[in-house]
């Protein structure tokens, strides 16, 4: 089975990326191919990078409070390019009710501060295995 390709991105003006780097390292340690885009990415930059890198998953790290705008915008841009098959997941400071509202809009599971990275690894692996079964 080919490695799962994940783009980890920090959208918006949030200047804190330690958590994103920890997640990127954990995914890489779990055998995934990880592309980290760095700080201050626009949704357009993230969607373009995801398409150019042909990723399976986009993981957004958002601490700025702009999650209700940024997650749907990245999803919309990917869908416009015919890539609504890419899982959009992520984490940050996101209230539970917002997580649920984003899930209804087609965003994957979101993770709060302090979540073990193993939870994210298991979630992505489970999602990928299910997608591969459906395509087979």
Domain 5-135 - what CATH class? Answer: alpha beta
pLDDT tens figures, 53-82? 999 999 999 998 999 999 999 999 999 999
Cβ(50)–Cβ(58) below 8 Å: yes
Given pLDDT bands bounded at 50, 70 and 90, which one contains residue 12? confident
**Range 13-41 average pLDDT:** 93
**Range 10-21 average pLDDT:** 88
3-state secondary structure of 33: strand
């Amino acid at each position: 089975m080919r490695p799962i390709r994940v783009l980890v991105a920090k959208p918006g003006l949030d200047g804190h990326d330690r958590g994103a780097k920890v997640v990127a390292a954990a995914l890489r340690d779990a055998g995934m191919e990880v592309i980290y885009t760095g700080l201050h990415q626009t949704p357009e930059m993230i969607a373009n990078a995801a398409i150019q890198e042909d990723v399976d998953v986009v993981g957004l790290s958002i601490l700025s409070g702009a999650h209700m705008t940024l997650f749907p915008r990245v999803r919309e841009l990917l869908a416009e390019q015919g890539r609504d098959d890419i899982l959009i997941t992520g984490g940050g400071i996101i209230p539970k009710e917002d997580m649920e509202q984003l899930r209804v809009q087609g965003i994957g599971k979101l993770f709060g501060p302090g979540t073990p990275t193993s939870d994210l690894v298991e979630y992505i692996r489970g999602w990928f295995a299910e997608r591969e079964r459906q395509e087979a």
